[in-house]
Each structure stands twice: as C-alpha cells, then as structure tokens.
Structure 1
Amino acid sequence: MALNVRLGVSTWLWTSPFHAEEAAVLFGKIASLGYNAVEIAVEDPALIDIPTVKAALEANGLEAIICGAFGPTRDLTSDDEQLQRTGLDYIEACLDIARALGSRFFAGPMYSAVGKARMVAPAQRAIEWERAVVNLRTVCESAAARGLEIALEPLNRFESDLINNVDDLLHLIGDINHPAAKICLDMFHMNIEEPDPEAAIVKSGEKLIHVQVSENYRGTPGTGNASWDAYRRGLEAIGYQGVVSIESFTPENQELAAAVCIWRNLAENQDAFARDGYAFLKKWSVGN
C-alpha cells in the first residue's frame, strides 16, 4: 500500500538565510524536480516578504511548511528573561508568516536553544523544563488564536539536553496540556536516539503532523543506513498523510555548516541531492 504523503524539501539544502528574493528561482527548481512542498526555514522574519514568497508558491503550485531556527538568543528556557521574550517574539513573527502563507503549523525545536547540551543539576533541569512548559503553552495559545498548531521536534543528545526522543516530547506535550501542541519527527535525530523508530512513530500517533528525513549522515536519502523500512511501517501504521520533507544543509554557508557540523560536501551538488533524494522517496513512498 502506498503512503498517502506529499514530498517536500527544505530551503536549507541550498541557502541560508533564506531571502524572499530567492523564492521565484528556488521554488521553480523545487517544483521542476517534482516536489509538492517547500519547507521554508525562517532564520530572520524580516527577510520574508509575504507577497513575494506567496506569489512564488502559487506560481509553482507548492505548499509551504514554515520551520524555525533557535539559536542562543531565542532560548525559552534561559535564565535571562529577555532571551525568553526574544524567543517568544520570534515565534509570534513566524506564526504570522505561517498563517499568511497558508501553512497550518509552525515546526522546530522551539522548547530550547539548539546546541544547549550540558550536564546540569536536577533542580536546574526542573526549572528549565517548567520554563519550556509555561512558554510553550503561551505559544500554543498564540498559534490556536491564528488557527495554527506547533510541531515540536526532538533533537539528538549532542544538540539538546532537554528533548531527545518521542518519550521526552510526549512528556512535555502532556505537561503543556494544549491541543495545539503536536509533533515533528526528524529521522536524522531518530536514527541516533530511537532504539525502535517504528515504535516511536506509532507512539506519536495522530500527534505527528510533520516528518523530516535525510540519511544517517545527513546525506541524500537512500545512500546510507537509515531504517527506511521501519520508518515506512510506522507511518503506514498511523495512517500519516502529511509532508515528508528532506532536511539537510548547504555547506556553502560556513556559519550554518559549523552549527550542524557539516565539514564536507554530502553530495555531488545540492541540486543532485534534491534530485536523487526525490527519486528515492518517490519509490519509497509507493512501496517499491
């Protein structure tokens, strides 16, 4: 049985930060490769001119997925209340972008700063957990007021000390206790943290609203040792009908490459990455 999914790819595969002026050419390329959706990585909301991006989406028949970038200045668990406020303001701006571009959710590891991985005392961890819960409940209220949801993404242990797997995230969502809190799973992180990715997907169930994929080494789907059969069985089991989107990163932007520890080219070029990744995912999604 074929998966009833749409295929997408992140703007991060080619560029960082994404500028609205790039939309016409980049979205045209993405559509020509066969993709149904583009995952727009919003590093700076000021660079996203809504009319320009919307026109490029419509011209190319692409669905928009909006995801965020959460550096140390956007940390909802910080001891510095101003950084928490900066994070909340950034999320509000991204929610406005998502609504304007027709996306039904905003995705990302917005509970804390990416790269915040430390050994801390249980008391401090409890404080930071509670900050994440309180701030994300506020985020959920803001999202719901716009008719949106949020898709929270677990990160591997080298990128976060707060949420590493589906069990962690379900605990957090239970504490947030708001219907807008949902799940985004990135199979790169799952390959590190989930002993049984199929079971993790099944456990996510109807809360899973977005899926990101790449190989175990962040490379082109189908060229590594990621557990593709297990991922497929899990998605089949829960009747997932959303977007499956390639997320990897251009090595051309040195700041981004350093942040995600990409020290070499992962494909012949980024266009080949997207082309070959689409070909693999198309066969994978129909069960061939």
Structure 2
Amino acid sequence: MKLGFNLLLWSTFITDEHLPIIERLKATGYDGVEIPLFEGTPDHYEKLGRHIKALGLGVTGIGVMPGGGKSAVSADKAERDAGLEHIKWIIDCTAALGGDLAAGPLHQPLGQFSGAGATDDEKQRVAEVHKAAAQYAARSNIKLSVEPLNRFECYFLNTAAQAAALVKAVDEPNYGYLYDTFHFNIEENSMVEVIPATISQINHVHISENNRGAPGAGHIAFQPVFDALKDAGYDGWMTVEAFGSALPDLAAATKIWRPLFERPEQVYEGGYKLMREGWDRA
C-alpha cells in the first residue's frame, strides 16, 4: 500500500512553483503525489515528473470530463470521440509524469443532469469509450480508475455497485474504479460493506472527510475502512483528497463556501498520520 496526496488542495495546474510543497509532502512521509490534469501539455508534465522522480516519489494523475463537446456518456458520437481523445490526453500526461494510474470521473461532465438515472444505452456507450481508453492506457502500463460521484455532482455513476458493473462491462485488466470516502459517505448504506463486495474492481482509493476538509476532523469513521481494505488485500494507492477555499474557481466547483481548516499542514500532516497509523492498526 502506498500513501499519496492530491495537489488539488493548492491548484488545478501544478508548476515549478509548487515544488516546495511537493518537497514538504515527501518530508512528511508520503510515497507519492496526485497531479491534477486540467490543462497543459505532456512536455510540461514530463519536466515536472523528472523533479518528482528525483525526490523519490511516485505519481498518479487525476482529471475530469470538461464538457464543451467532450463526454463519454453523450448520444452524439462526435462528443464521445472527443471525450475519448480527452481521456487519452490525460493518459499521455500521466505517462509523461512517469505515473502508474490515471483517475477521475471520466464518464460525464460535472453538474450535468438528465433528470433520471443512467440508461442502458448510456452505460453501453461509456463502457465502449472506456474500453478503448483502457486499451490505450495499457500501452503505457497505466491503470485507469473511474470515479463514482455523489448524486449532487453527477447522475451516471454514484454507487460502488454501479461502478463495479461498469468495470465488469469494460473488462480490461488495467481498468477499475476509485473508492472515495467522501462520495460513498453520501451514497452507500455502508461504505465499509461495499469494500469486500467490490474489491476485485477497486484499483484506487481516496481518503476524504465528510466536508472535504482535513481527514480525521469530521465524522467519517476511517478505521473500519482501513480494516476492510487491508482484510480484502488492497495494495494500491491510498490518497488524501481535500479542498480549500483559496482558489475561487475550484472552491466554486467543489462548493467550498467557508474555511475548512486553518493551515494546509493540518490537512497533509494529519492525513498522513491518520492513514499511516490506521493502516498499521488494521
């Protein structure tokens, strides 16, 4: 098991100015960092990846479907094709970083709703797009991890059962789903019971508090999650994902309207302690 930290706490575009932050994460004890892939080129991320590798850290990538004619769920083939190209760009940037996994809600743009749940046709369309994306990712030895989101952010993929079914439909060895404690705290009757039930489909984990602030400061019981993951044999990344109010656009997208912590150190130092000690106890 490897401990990571998602740099969305600071920015959607990581540059050399963020290297001191990455160095502090290394000093804290993290095994790697998760880099937001919202803009930029593979050349930019190749340079950034060299710095990260020199620190002895691993790396994963995280992205979203941006809309604007790019969507894996759309009935319009041109939009699905554009969505596939966008996922390939995320994969290319992850490969340039030297990463081993690209993750995110790579199914539909955030905040778009149909007024109903996912249809069978939509499920088939996304499975076809993601199968092609997973096969493309395999060329670079990268795993693809699709993220279910809560019902207030998307309609296509909300639960562990839905995510596991999509993984089975895609049927590629490097394709799985991202288990996120924030979203499953909302959607699942038991966020612990879904772990053994879908462990064969889980290939990435986000540790996120109920309010998306500092892990351990809210009401999520993380120890049973660590226990269940360890008992099930999970051995991938376990990455802290938290958000603040410093970036107006990101705060608006994540609905962070108030400060959730006093200092970022509370998030990354507390998150590391929570995961390291919790995993050791499991």
TM-score (norm 1): 0.90
Write the letter of the residue equivalent to 1:187.
T
The match for 1:220 is: 214
Q: Are 2:245 and 1:263 equivalent residues in the alignment?
A: no
In the aligned structure 2, how far is the partner of 1:27 from the partner of 1:112? 30
Give, in angstroms, the shift of residue 139 of structure 1. 0.8
Identity of aligned residues (%): 27
Correspondence list, 1:10-159, <5 A? 10-15=6-11, 17-46=12-41, 49-73=44-68, 74-120=70-116, 125-159=119-153
Greater relative contact order: 1 or 2 (C-alpha under 8 angstroms, separation 6 or more)? 1
Post-superposition offset of 1:104: 2.1
Distance 1:51 1:147 in 2: 16
Read off the aligned partner of 1:125 and give its amino acid letter.
T
1:193 Cα offset (Å): 1.0
- CA shift in 2, pair 1:50/1:71, >3 Å: closer
CA contact (8 A) 1:216 1:224 kept: yes
SS of 1:26's equivalent in the other structure is helix
Measure the CA separation in 2 of the matches of 1:110 and 1:77: 9
1:203: which partner in 2? 197
The amino acid across from 1:281 in the alignment is: M
- Contact 1:117/1:157 (<8 A) preserved: no
State the shift of 1:23 in Å. 4.3
Alpha-carbon distance in structure 1 between the residues aligned to 2:192 and 2:43: 36
Confirm or deny: 8 A CA contact 2:176 2:201 kept in the other structure: yes
Which residue number in structure 1 is paired with residue 155 of structure 2?
161
Distance 2:43 2:235 in 1: 28
Q: Distance in 1 between matches of 2:29 and 2:207?
A: 17
Per-residue deviation, residues 175-210 of structure 1 (Å, max 9, x unmatched):
222223212111100111111222211122233221
Measured at CA, do residues 13 and 79 of structure 1 come closer, stay the same or move farther in structure 2, by a change above 3 Å? Answer: same
What per-residue deviation string (whole Å, max 9, x for no partner) do you get for residues 86-116 of structure 1?
Answer: 3222211221222233322211111222222
Under a length normalisation based on structure 2, what TM-score does the superposition of the two structures give? 0.92
Aligned residue identity for 1:69: V
Separation in structure 1 between the aligned mates of residue 255 and residue 263 of structure 2, nearest angstrom: 18
Residue 240 (structure 1) aligned with residue 251 (structure 2):
no
CA distance in 1, matches of 2:113, 2:28: 37
What is the rounded CA distance, in whole Å, between the counterparts of 2:31 and 2:83 in structure 1? 30
In structure 1, distance between residues paired with 2:56 and 2:169: 38
Conserved? CA contact 2:73–2:125, under 8 Å:
yes
Q: State whether structure 2 residue 279 is matched by structure 1 residue 285.
A: yes
Long gaps (5+) in structure 2: none
Deviation of 1:212 (Å): 0.4
The secondary structure found in structure 2 opposite 1:224 is coil
Distance 1:274 1:147 in 2: 29
**Which range moved further: 191-200 or 169-178?**
169-178
Give distance in 1, aligned partners of 2:165 and 2:125.
14
Aligned residue for 2:156, secondary structure, equals coil
Worse-matched range after superposition: 170-179 or 192-201: 170-179
Could you tell which deviates more after superposition, 217-226 or 69-78? 69-78
Deviation at 1:48, TM superposition (A): 6.2
Whether the aligned pair in 1 keeps the contact of 2:46 and 2:98 (CA below 8 Å) is no
For 1:177 and 1:242, locate their aligned partners in 2 and report how far apart those are by CA, in whole Å: 19
- In the alignment, the residues of structure 2 paired with residue 30 and residue 233 of structure 1 have an alpha-carbon distance, to the nearest angstrom, of 25
Q: What value does the CA root-mean-square deviation take over the aligned residues?
A: 2.0
Contact 1:23 1:52 survives alignment (8 Å)? no
Distance 2:271 2:58 in 1: 18
> For structure 1, which runs of at least 5 residues remain unmatched after alignment?
none
Judge conservation of contact 2:59–2:100 (CA < 8 Å) in 1: no
Cα distance in 1 for partners of 2:96, 2:131 equals 22
* CA 1:287–1:59: 2 relative to 1, 3 Å: same
